[in-house]
Structure 1
Amino acid sequence: MNIEPPSQTVKNPPEQFVGDVWVDVVAAPHDDDQRMSVAIVKFAPGARTAWHSHARGQYLRVTQGIARFGTRDGQIIEVRPGQTLYTPPGQDHWHAAAHGTFMEHIAMLEAGDDPSGTTIWKEHITDADYEGTPRR
C-alpha cells in the first residue's frame, strides 16, 4: 500500500471546454491491467464541456452546485449535490455548471480497450443546447 502523491490542478483545454474548468486527478491506473480513473472536476458558472462520449460509460457524482447534462436528443437533466449521473458507453453528452453557480463533480470511468478511445471529443455545444429546459 501507499499514499498516492498529490497531483497538480490542471485547467482543461479550450478545444474541449468553454469557460474555466479545472481537474484534479484522484486515481489513475498504475498497471496495464488497471482501467479505473477518478477525477474531481470544477466548473465556473456556465462553463461546459464539448460533446463527447466514453467507451465504457461514465459516472459523475455532483458534490457542489448544480450540474446540467445534455444528450443529442435535446434531453437536459439538472443534478444536485449527492446525486450521481450514469452515462452509458458511446452516448454523446455534455456536462456544465448552471448559470450563477460553481459546480464540482467526481468523474469515474474505465479506460477503453484502446486507451486513446476512452473519451472521444467532438464539437462544442451551442448556446441553445446549453440553455434548453431541463427534464423534471
Structure 2
Amino acid sequence: MSGIFIATLLATIAAKVPAGFSTGDLLLSDCHGSRQFVRGYVAGWLDKWNRDEYLARRNIVDNAPNTKAMVNAAYLGESVGINLCVPVGTKAEVLGDVLCTFLEQNPGVRDATGDDLMTEVVQANYSCPAQ
C-alpha cells in the first residue's frame, strides 16, 4: 500500500514540474516575484560556464602535442567568440538584478532562451579587456 502512495505522490510532483528551458518571459515573471529562482538560475549558469571553460582549457593542455586537436580547439573558441571576465566575488544576486533590469528594458528579447539572455547580459557587462 505504501508503494502505491509513494508512486502517486511522485507522479503528482512530476506533473507540476514545467518542461523545457527557461525563457526571458519565465525569468521576468520570477523577477517580479521572489528572485530566488533567478539567483539560482544565474548561479547555475555561472557554474556551467566556469566548468565548460575549465574543460576547454584542459582539452588544450591535454592535446598540446596533437596539432589537429589544437586546431579544432582553436576553431571551437573562435566559433563561440565569447570572452567573459566576471570579477571574483561577484554575487548571483547582483547578476540576477542586472538580468531582470535587462529583461524589463528589452521586451523584444523575452522569447529567447535563458542561456542566450544570460550570455548577452554577462558579455555586455563583463567582457574581458582587449589584449
State the structure with bigger RCO (CA 8 A, min sep 6), 1 or 2.
Answer: 2
TM-score range, shorter chain: under 0.3
Q: What TM-score do the two structures reach when normalised by structure 2?
A: 0.26
- Bigger Rg, structure 1 or 2: 2
Higher fraction of helix: 2
Higher fraction of strand: 1
Q: What TM-score do the two structures reach when normalised by structure 1?
A: 0.25
